Amino acid sequence: MQKRTKIFEETLETVIEVTDIPKEDILGPSREADVCIARKLFFYTLRKKGLRVTSICRMLKLRGCSFVSSTIVKNYQTAEALVKKKDDEFTELLYELKKGI
């Protein structure tokens, strides 16, 4: 398994564990608040681990997902803003995610 694919899969599994949101929801079109937070956490962590947006898009496409690069960038930017303003819920989930990785 390629390093990027391994990072992608391990991060996804850890986000699922931490948030208790199913893979299908995280990678799907749901706009429920909890799912959106999990998705932001997922994209934010992948970018922080050095995966480029194009790589993330490619891996998502291979799994039948239709996210475009602007969606990933927007989710990352929103997550970054939550970190900067020290949003309690997001910061706690990020801490739990880092412990699990």
pLDDT digits (tens, 9 = 90+) for 59-92: 999 999 989 999 999 999 999 999 999 999 999 9
CA dihedral sign of residues 64, 26, 98, 40: positive
How far is the C-alpha of 57 from the C-alpha of 71, rounded, in Å?
A: 10
* Domain membership of residue 12 as a residue range: 3-100
How far is the C-alpha of 21 from the C-alpha of 14, rounded, in Å?
A: 11
Binned at pLDDT 50, 70 and 90, residue 4 comes out as very high
Please check the confidence at residue 53 and state whether its pLDDT lies above 70: yes
**pTM for this predicted structure:** 0.93
CATH of the domain at 40: 1.10.1750.10
Instruction: Specify whether the CB–CB gap between 40 and 2 falls below 8 A.
Output: no
Question: Who contacts 96 (Cβ-Cβ below 8 Å, separation ≥6)?
Answer: 18
DSSP one-letter code for 68: -
Total domains present in the chain: 1
Write down the pLDDT at residue 1: 66
How far is the C-alpha of 35 from the C-alpha of 81, rounded, in Å?
A: 18
pLDDT in tens, 12-52: 999 999 999 999 999 999 999 999 999 999 999 999 999 99
Pick the closest to residue 26 from 53, 18, 6, 91 (CA basis): 18
